[in-house]
Amino acid sequence: MTGRKKKRMSYSRPNIQGNLKLTPSLVTTELVILLFSKGSIDQDHTRKACKILKDPFQLPCPDGLWSGMPRPCTKVSFDKNTNSKRSRLVLLALLALMTVALIVLYPTLRMGIWLDEYLSINSSTGDNFVAVITNGFGRQDDYHPPLFYVVLNTWMKLFGRGDFSVKIPSVIFGLLTIPASYWLGKVCHSRRVGLLSALFCAMSPLAIFLSGQCRGYALAGLFSTIALTAYVVLQKGEATKKTSVLAFFTAAFATAALCYTAYVGCVLIPCLGLASTIILVRNYLRTGDTNVRKNSLQTYGKCVGALVFAFALFGPWLPSVLSQTSGALYLDRTPLNRFPEVFYFNSMNLLPTHIFFGPVLLAILLVAFLIRKLRKASLTNTSVETTSVGDAYVETTRSGLSVDILIVLACVTIIPCCVMGYITTWWAGYFRYVYPFCSAAWVLFASFVSLTFWNSDGSITKAAKAALTIILIAFSGVNIGCAILRIGAPNSALKTVAEDAIKGKFDNTAFVICPDVLGPTMGYYLPEAARKERNIGLFGFAKWEDTTIPANIPVMDKPWMADNLIDETLKHIENLGSSGYRFVALSRDADKQLELLSSSKMPRKKLIDELVAAMDRKFKVVRKIDYPAAVEFARVTVYELPQP
């Protein structure tokens, strides 16, 4: 509704099937529960009441039951000042959440970039956005669509490509996802669930991490949340024609934009399509009413039509997708027997707490829910069935998500947790691919929290409020603590290594980066001019030359498959002395990371261990230095080279 229609509403008699016997007691009881929250009329609950009750405004009711509250009539007036005040409070709450999120996020922006972020910078380099799109079509050194790179290209032209500046677009997108999550929760359930969803977005470790990365995941999360919100509006089928048209195009364009930002976003299309199909079949099985089936089919057509339109918008980029996915995979596929592990870690990343504390959070909330259920059962057993609106009756008529919305959110949450790791390669870092589906999980989680701690009339007891406050503060503290621990080291240790090299600690030294794929990060922080000034060389293992250039993914495994790789590398190192270098510094990644990135085609850890052992035997060790990092650790071993 728009304009003055928001102030005053009139209702027509709904057509309800079935033999529903209405009495004054039933009417007044249901209206008190559905219409009033602490004596105020709620517009959304009024609509629900009109659907449930058959013309309640013409039935008599006891005057005493209303206790001074407005008596229902055919025209219900709404307090504009109250609604305006609530809107201002919501706005202030969202601004506060965004401010807190920014405060937590800001220190992480000083941690520098790592390899994946450099790939974003490299893929965004071009004279204009057309060049970025053209260069990205079928690109083989970075398997991501171009929309975020177009945004980053424009940003870098205005603000440069420093390791702080390039992160700002993701920060903006991450902060905007907080109010977007509120709208999704509000459309799906209520204002309360919307605020809880926004809170979970602001405190989610995965959201905080990705919002501080120069990658497209924060933008993908924003588009996914917008697309879901519009799709839910379509699926509910309660909007006006104008709003329905707007929701249709918003869902289509936001879904297409999501696909142009992250290929994993394409999973959203079949998830939503399956959800709408389940809802349609369910409605057909539940009733034989022609009007109900017709309306369900019309809603289904709008929803699926939006998805088809979104896929058509993404169609021009499909040849690029096929070209990129046809390349050789350098990591082994995940075996099916690891499905429980894949599903567990994917689902834990959807929760608004650190992955290792997810089970603890779920256990605490489950205990709280069971306590409430037991209390409800106790109140029900001791209450008398009268027309009064007691706590027992309110508890037993507690409402939550509608079944249709629950189906949509469940499909968007569960299916990605099952397939991420199979349609993509899988190891610890690839859990970030579930992020575009986090907003749906936050709404589900917020609905469960609402169900656990609030009464169905919108009230909350002091004990429940205290318990929820303690839980939220505790887990927010855990999340902030984990974020603080991360900022103690840079994202990539090669940033610190490069800084030491610029200070003169590695003069006349040739670096061998193990594995070579990390070379671009070192090249970013130690540019060619600085290397020449300090007589520093930059090489890689297994690919010796062109270490600063991102690897071509389909042929990334070929250097590692060479039979004489170790011997050839040792020959290269022996010749460094005649090139003017006095030392060689071998920089290797952490053992755990090397294990995760090893495969049958690229036995990285095994070969790097063999190279280190051979160099320890062949050259004199001068010193060893460990450089800690949040993502890319480095152990630098400096050897003395024989001079000619």
How confident is the model over 140-195, as pLDDT tens digits?
Answer: 888 889 999 999 999 999 999 999 999 999 999 999 999 999 999 999 998 999 99
φ/ψ of residue 36, rounded to 5:
-115, 135
pLDDT at 312 (0 to 100): 97
Q: What six digits make up the tokens of 561? A: 């498959």
Kindly indicate the confidence band of residue 426, based on its pLDDT and cuts at 50, 70 and 90: low
Element (H, E) at 623: strand 620-627
Most confident range (mean pLDDT) of 23-32, 46-55, 365-374, 522-531 is: 522-531
- Whether residue 265 has pLDDT greater than 50: yes
- Whether residue 242 has pLDDT greater than 60: yes
Most confident range (mean pLDDT) of 399-408, 417-426, 539-548 is: 539-548
C-alpha to C-alpha distance for 615 and 575, rounded to whole angstroms: 14
Higher-confidence residue: 483 or 119? Answer: 119
Window from 57-66, 419-428, 537-546 with minimum mean pLDDT: 57-66
Query: Which percentage of the chain shows pLDDT scores above 70?
Result: 82
C-alpha to C-alpha distance for 216 and 148, rounded to whole angstroms: 5
C-alpha to C-alpha distance for 214 and 113, rounded to whole angstroms: 8
Kindly indicate the confidence band of residue 376, based on its pLDDT and cuts at 50, 70 and 90: confident
C-alpha to C-alpha distance for 43 and 32, rounded to whole angstroms: 13
pLDDT at 404 (0 to 100): 92
| Residues in Cβ contact with 639 at an 8 Å cutoff, skipping those fewer than 6 apart | 583, 584, 585, 586, 615, 619, 620, 621, 622
- Whether residue 379 has pLDDT greater than 90: no
pLDDT at 21 (0 to 100): 42
**Mean pLDDT of the region 63-89:** 54
Among 472, 421, 476, which residue's Cα sits nearest to residue 205? 476
Longest dimension (CA), the chain: 107
Cα torsion 528, 530, 534, 537 to 10°: value is -30
**Type of residue numbered 16:** I
Window from 184-193, 205-214, 481-490, 534-543 with minimum mean pLDDT: 481-490
336-341, Cβ contacts within 8 angstroms, sequence gap of 24 or more: 338/421, 338/426, 339/418
pLDDT at 411 (0 to 100): 97
- Whether residue 3 has pLDDT greater than 50: no
pLDDT at 151 (0 to 100): 97
Residue whose token pair is 């046809």:
326
- Whether residue 2 has pLDDT greater than 80: no
Q: What is the mean pLDDT of the chain?
A: 83
Q: Are 516 and 543 in contact (CB under 8 A)?
A: yes
C-alpha to C-alpha distance for 40 and 116, rounded to whole angstroms: 52
| Residues in Cβ contact with 208 at an 8 Å cutoff, skipping those fewer than 6 apart | 101, 104, 105, 108, 174, 479, 483
For residue 342, the tally of other CB atoms under 10 A from its CB is 21
**Mean pLDDT of the region 586-601:** 88
Q: What six digits make up the tokens of 625? A: 């230095």
pLDDT at 328 (0 to 100): 54
Q: Is the pTM of this model over 0.75?
A: yes
Residue whose token pair is 């240790």:
493
pLDDT at 83 (0 to 100): 72
Most confident range (mean pLDDT) of 229-243, 268-282, 555-569 is: 268-282
Identify the three-state secondary structure at position 540.
strand
Kindly indicate the confidence band of residue 34, based on its pLDDT and cuts at 50, 70 and 90: very low
- Whether residue 63 has pLDDT greater than 50: no
Cα torsion 146, 151, 153, 155 to 10°: value is -170
Q: Are 50 and 13 in contact (CB under 8 A)?
A: no
Q: What six digits make up the tokens of 569? A: 């590398």
pLDDT at 259 (0 to 100): 97
pLDDT at 5 (0 to 100): 43
| Residues in Cβ contact with 379 at an 8 Å cutoff, skipping those fewer than 6 apart | 390, 391, 392, 395
Question: Does the bond joining 515 to the residue before it have cis omega, within 30 degrees of 0?
Answer: yes
Q: Are 533 and 561 in contact (CB under 8 A)?
A: no
Q: Are 521 and 494 in contact (CB under 8 A)?
A: yes
The DSSP output letter for 414 is H
- Where are the alpha helices (H) located in 237-289, listed in sequence order? 241-261, 268-286
Q: Are 112 and 491 in contact (CB under 8 A)?
A: yes
- Sort strands 75-77 and 8-10 into parallel, antiparallel or unpaired: antiparallel
Q: What six digits make up the tokens of 415? A: 């299916």
Kindly indicate the confidence band of residue 19, based on its pLDDT and cuts at 50, 70 and 90: very low
pLDDT at 373 (0 to 100): 81
Kindly indicate the confidence band of residue 587, based on its pLDDT and cuts at 50, 70 and 90: very high
**Mean pLDDT of the region 260-272:** 95
Residue range 330-362, pLDDT digits in tens: 667 778 888 888 899 999 999 999 888 999 999
**Mean pLDDT of the region 297-324:** 94
Identify the three-state secondary structure at position 589.
coil
Residue range 116-127, pLDDT digits in tens: 999 999 999 989
Q: Are 30 and 45 in contact (CB under 8 A)?
A: no
**Mean pLDDT of the region 265-284:** 95
For 262-325, strand residue ranges (E) read none
